[in-house]
Chain A
Amino acid sequence: MRHLLSISDLSKDEAILILDTAIEMARASDGPMKKLPTLRGRTIVNLFAEDSTRTRISFEAAAKRLSADVINFGAKGSSLSKGESLKDTALTLQAMGADAVIIRHSASGAPVRLADSAWMTGSVINAGDGTHEHPSQALLDAFTIRKHCTKGGGDLAGLRIGIVGDVLHSRVARSNVLLLSLLGAHVTLIAPPTLLPFGVESWPVDISYDFDSVLPTLDAVMMLRVQQERMSDLFFPNAREYSRYFGLNRDRMLTMKSNSIVMHPGPMNRGLEITADVADSARSVIVEQVSNGVSVRMAILYLLLAGAPTEIGGNV
């Protein structure tokens, strides 16, 4: 496999290989020589057609630590803002000899279009597409959960993980549902019915509308960002009502199991889906998620581009 487009492209062994490789990457980064020569001479393009801070910087840091040449290509001030089509952008990147394109895009499926078209031949890495998927985020979340909630090394069998909030519009949730269940965890989605997708019954998860009853059973709870504009689209009455039933506050946190963790993919709406005291508490691994993100993305780039003995995906 040349691309990372969706978690559904990964087998369980491949997912675990990425997580294990990320441990090696973290270890190397902690050493005296932060930089590895692995991708020297390779060109990686960060094509961020939608604004992003942490994912773009995280991929950039990962690529640079592997000694790749990184070109940042953002929405503002580039040809994208002048209405250039995805096809023409891809043809341009191909002409410039990009070995890999890391793409963030507001349109679901844009990375798939890029990978399946004849427009370019390099690897395509999905860094979040519309409301579809965000596979590298799910991998860093699984990495973080494995580090805190298991003895390490294996899968996530037996763990109970809650994903709370706007599942309908969340690419993070879609990738996490696929990956966490692939790794054997038991996933519960907790949200008002308006914020769950039609047909969610077919997903490998449990559904709950009652945060309070599920929370004490969880090993990890993942809070999703709730966008303010959802209120005008009638998904819930107002922010107060949302927080009352689906926000994580101190009182709720006190009902959690010992050693269970609080996660958030960021950026947070403090006071809406999560209160400041929870976000900054000892249970919160939110900042650590960010640093784990660099290691996991190094592992992804390494396995896709370095011609490692066991590549991600058996067949091309």
Chain B
Amino acid sequence: MNNSYLLKGGQLPNGEKSDLAIDNGKIAAIGESLDVQTLEVIDISGCVILPGLVDLHTHLREPGREDSETVLSGSRAAVKGGFTAISAMANTSPVADTAGVVEQVFRLGQEAGLCDVFPIGAVTQGLEGEKLSEMGAMANSIAKVRVFSDDGHCVSDPLVMRRALEYVKQFGGVIAQHAQEPRLTVGSQMNEGIVSARLGLKGWPAIAEESIIARDVLLAEHVSSRLHICHVTTAGGVEIIRWAKARGINVTAEVTPHHLLLTDDLATSYDPIFKVNPPLRTEKDVMALREALAEGIIDIVATDHAPHPAETKECEWQEASFGMLGLETALSIITQTMVHTGLMNWEQVADRLSIAPARIGGYSDHGREIAVGGSAHLTVINPTATWRVDRDLVASRSRNTPFHGMELPGVVEHTFFKGVKR
């Protein structure tokens, strides 16, 4: 009877009304008007049950910048946002480019125990883009790393990228590329366009992203490797990925919640809360990204949750850090931009935020269809309720959410990890 729950009156992703029983970490029963004995009965009328959300792109800042986030505080934010698995990006200090660091992060995640924390390993030593890191050792460590990324930096040298793509094939790994041609973005501050020209902020052209995506899908095809594109932001990038997929190239892609909602004209305030890498783009890009996500050209939503301390945002735009919080607002932003607009149903939400990211990351215990006997990683969302984002109430250690003050639909009512309400 330990940790057993009966969820009454909810709805499965496919729209079927159903009760769901959880017992001993597993889904024990699914069906209408279930009559089973559990420790706790929870009324979830009007709510949707999703497989626990999986984030493939999370900055947890530990080790190194525990003032802005820790594995524990990031795990709390994750669970609050409905995530049962998150992926710790490698750009910590020290960089996660050895088995020692990824094992440390993995262990911290286990100790926190609120959700699974899967470390991402660096592609190159120190994220410097020159020498490959010991990806084999990271893959064979207890952290079992399969996703490798220099995120924050582009693996810009084409030869290094080629070798990395080839090398990770031996253990079924994937390279997650931060697509940003560095020479086209020296000192860049925001999307290059009409707004940047008016504001006098150095432009970040869409082609700096698109040219790397184009190069890398061709490389992935040439060496028959698996490629993942982080945070796609441009309509042109979508078109290249569409072309690559039609050609049979093994590429997947992610989009962040903020790039599905916010646009570059927000920089008019010069408030660096809207400063992010890659930058906010135009309305046209936002619409193209939404369509691509609905179509499956972009496979998943990933948060790029990037905590920063206040002083790096309470300053001039060009001095400020890039990045924004994402874990606690992701599902609400998707509800607003994709579900309430009619672009996606809940089955598609389950796919883009749980099933597909778990498949890409190789997180075999996550992202499963909701079925009896499966691990009870579940998220319960009330899609019609709304809430107001308050930066002073976040679980994250940092407060840099661009959604502060917004009224958003979709309240995460419960998150179950290993069958326990978190």
Contacts and interface: CB of A to CB of B under 8 A. Distances in A.
Contacts of B202: 131
B342 interface: no
A197 B203 CA distance: 9
Interface string B186-210: 0000001110111111110100000
A85 B317 contact: no
A108 interface: yes
A245 to B, nearest CB: 23
Interface in B295-319: 311, 314-319
Interface stretch (A36-44, A110-118, A145-153, A271-279): A110-118
A193 interface: no
A171 B269 CA distance: 17
B313 to A, nearest CB: 10
A108 B317 contact: yes
Nearest to A200: B197
A113 B201 CA distance: 14
A68 to B, nearest CB: 27
B199 to A, nearest CB: 6
B199 A132 contact: yes
B198 A174 contact: yes
Interface in B257-303: 269-271
A110 B200 CA distance: 12
A196 to B, nearest CB: 9
A129 B317 CA distance: 12
A244 interface: no
A202 B271 CA distance: 24
Interface string A68-103: 000000000000000001110000000000000000
A85 to B, nearest CB: 6
Contact of B314 (A85, A130, A131, A133): A85
Most chain A CB within a 10 A radius of its CB, from B193, B197, B200, B271: B200
A306 interface: no
Interface string A99-139: 00000010111101100110000000000011111000000
Most chain B CB within a 10 A radius of its CB, from A108, A116, A130, A200: A108
A31 interface: no
A198 B205 contact: yes
B19 to A, nearest CB: 51
Given A109-B270, A130-B318, A198-B203, A85 B197 contact: no
Contacts of A129: 200
Given A113-B271, A132-B199, A133-B200, A86 B194 contact: no
Interface residues of B, number: 22
B270 A202 contact: no
Contacts of A87: 311, 314-315
A310 to B, nearest CB: 27
Contacts of B194: 199, 202
B193 A130 contact: no
Given A113-B271, A198-B192, A130 B200 contact: yes
A204 B153 CA distance: 38
B366 to A, nearest CB: 42
Interface string A151-175: 0000000000000000000010010
A112 B197 contact: no
Given A85-B315, A86-B316, A199-B193, A108 B203 contact: no
Contacts of A202: 194, 197
Contacts of B193: 198-199
A107 B199 contact: no
Most chain B CB within a 10 A radius of its CB, from A87, A116, A131, A197: A197
Contact of A198 (B197, B270, B317): B197
A113 B197 contact: no
Contacts of B196: 197-199
Interface string B307-333: 000010011111100000000000000
B270 A112 contact: yes
B269 A112 contact: yes
A174 B317 CA distance: 19
A129 B199 CA distance: 10
Contacts of A105: 316
A219 to B, nearest CB: 26
Given A112-B270, A116-B270, A130-B318, 11 more contacts: A85-B314, A113-B317, A116-B271, A130-B201, A131-B202, A132-B199, A132-B200, A174-B200, A197-B197, A198-B193, A198-B205
Interface of A: 85-87, 105, 107-110, 112-113, 116-117, 129-133, 171, 174, 197-200, 202-203
25 contacts: A85-B311, A85-B314, A85-B315, A86-B315, A86-B316, A87-B315, A107-B316, A109-B199, A109-B201, A109-B270, A109-B317, A110-B270, A110-B316, A112-B269, A112-B270, A113-B270, A113-B315, A113-B316, A117-B314, A130-B201, A131-B200, A171-B200, A198-B203, A199-B197, A202-B197
Q: List the 6 closest pairs (A to B, CB-CB), nearest first.
A: A109-B270, A132-B200, A107-B316, A197-B197, A131-B200, A108-B200
